[in-house]
Amino acid sequence: MARFKAPRGTQDVLPIATPRWQYIEGKFREICALYGFREIRTPTFEETELFTRTTGETTDIVTKEMYTFTDRGGRSITLRPEGTAPAVRAYLEHNIGADLPVAKLYYVGRIFRYERPQAGRYREHNQFGVEMIGSGEPSADVEVISLAHQFLSSLGLSGIELRLNSLGGPEDRPVYREALRKYAEPFVSELCPECQVRYEKNPLRMLDCKVERCRELLRDAPGPAEFLCDECRAHFETVQRSLEGLGISFVLDPRLVRGLDYYTRTVFVFQTPLLGAQNEVCGGGRYDSMVEELGGPPTPALGFGLGVERLLLTLERLNIELPAEPKPKVFVAAIGSEARAAAVKLLADLRRYGIASESDFTGRSLKSQMKLADKLGAEYVMIIGEDEVKQSVVTVRDMAAKEQRQVGMDKVAEALELDRVAGIADNSHA
RNA sequence: GCGGGUGUAGCUCAGCAGGUUAGAGCGUCAGGUUGUGGCCCUGAAGGCCGAGAGUUCAAGUCUCUUCACUCGCCCCA
């Protein structure tokens, strides 16, 4: 039994699985490039205040899910619980906005939240994310949403549902806030203590309370979309019409409010029916006030975060085939110590030619080496024994054809490259 | 944060009402005679029965605690 275990809510991604991760990450990068998004890499941790100010003091994330600690210099540091604020911080710190009219950024990174783990929910998870900073046009919403859509469909996902809502702009928010207060006024005293605070400070957050009673009371509360100003309504409608025009189907969800304070106007999630309660694979929206709140000029922006673990789980549940581990082309087997030396040299030569090659490093019998070669899925086994060393040749065996022949020691790589299977098969004397 | 389930070899699981040295399949390793794989056969290694405490003459098996995983609800990616 292992003495140490990975901390609760974390997991090891083992070699059998890493090719799948590499594949979807590659796909994401490919599509981001297609859309003109450029990669940004930000630190794993930031000043705590970056998150408390943007995500919101009363959100679940800030109140109970952050990994916060004081470093040796006395600074309050937090492992990033989301990717947007760090990207915006970097955007401002390096004045990226001065470079191009719209900054289109993407990232791949780890996210940390202290939550109760479940399938599809971890304390450390990975997100692909995109941020488009500097455009308030509906076309920007469409750009970001269609990128996510294209990425998900490129993996062969089906059954994913896009849900949309609009929270309204900074002008509408106070109106909606008041409406919510008015709605809740008759039963404030029945709300949980936490919600009574929310009622005062941030009524919107009452909507994601976990207490059963609060949820009942607020079930029929008005949604933000009922209070949009004309401009916001027009914006939202343009987004919808454009998506329709692109054949991207969606459903409107008036209850969709998102658990982070910084969202404004358009918000969206992509949901899968396959992950139970962890059905949200990708979520995002506009955050038109964040740049300004962090000390920059008024700059509209939007983006999304996409859960890599959830994506992989969904793909697995759909039985979508993803790449497996690569196999060596050649396995070099050696018999005896003299041959071993020649094998080391041969391995080096093969690899210099770019031929993926493996060998045995435990000094076992030829039979065992053959078994190993088979298990690793090598196409060819090159055998070197006393005879081969004497004659300066190697015996090359085509594993699938079960045929073998001898090739000059200094010409193996070329032989493999040039005449391949056919050449070996033709000259075989197996 | 709330409610349920599970925890025995690397993996998937047995283990009958608590009773001697804890099992299977797969995997691993070694053999089945001279330097050759996939099938088959033989053998071997590998388990503080998640951890801690308790009940008992005796606990993998009962009780409690704890840790972890898992399912549902909520929130989130």
Give pLDDT tens digits for A68-90: 999 999 999 999 999 999 999 99
Residue A359 banded pLDDT, cuts 50, 70, 90: very high
Rounded to an integer, the average pLDDT of A132-145 is 97
Tokens 């919808």: give the residue: A240
Q: How much is the pLDDT for A260?
A: 84
Q: How much is the pLDDT for A382?
A: 96
Parallel, antiparallel, or unpaired: how do β-strands A103-112 and A280-286 relate?
Answer: unpaired
Q: Is the CB of A75 under 7 A from strand B?
A: no
A115 CA vs B59 C1’ separation (Å): 36
Summarised one tens digit per residue, pLDDT across range A145-200 is 999 999 999 999 888 899 999 999 888 888 888 888 888 888 888 888 888 888 88
Q: Is the CB of A264 under 7 A from strand B?
A: no
Closest nucleotide to the alpha carbon of A120, via C1'? B77
Q: Is the CB of A208 under 7 A from strand B?
A: yes
Q: Is the CB of A206 under 7 A from strand B?
A: no
Q: Is the CB of A14 under 7 A from strand B?
A: no
Q: How much is the pLDDT for A294?
A: 95
Do the domain assignments include residue A223?
A: no
A142 and A240 co-located in one domain:
yes
Query: Among A57-61, A236-240, A425-429, where is mean pLDDT lowest?
Result: A425-429
Q: CATH number, domain at A396?
A: 3.40.50.800
Do the domain assignments include residue A219?
A: no
Chain Cα centroid distance, residue A285? 17
Q: How much is the pLDDT for A417?
A: 62
| A369 dihedral zone (left: phi>0; alpha: psi -120 to 50; beta) | alpha
Residue A2 banded pLDDT, cuts 50, 70, 90: low
Residue A125 banded pLDDT, cuts 50, 70, 90: very high
Q: Is the CB of A276 under 7 A from strand B?
A: yes
A43 and A102 co-located in one domain:
yes
Q: Is the CB of A296 under 7 A from strand B?
A: no
Closest nucleotide to the alpha carbon of A210, via C1'? B74
A420 and A280 co-located in one domain:
no
The complex's ipTM?
0.86
Residue A424 has pLDDT above 50, yes or no: no
Closest nucleotide to the alpha carbon of A126, via C1'? B77
A274 CA vs B4 C1’ separation (Å): 20
Residue A128 has pLDDT above 90, yes or no: yes
A312 and A336 co-located in one domain:
no
Q: Is the CB of A306 under 7 A from strand B?
A: yes
Rounded to an integer, the average pLDDT of A106-115 is 94
A292 and A366 co-located in one domain:
no
Q: CA nearest A168: which of A234, A109, A214, A75?
A: A234
A136 and A112 co-located in one domain:
yes
Sequence-ordered list of residues with C-beta below 8 angstroms from that of A146, at least 6 positions apart, any chain: A243, A246, A248
Phi, psi dihedral angles at A278 (to 5 degrees): -90, 55
The structure tokens listed for A82 are: 């989301």
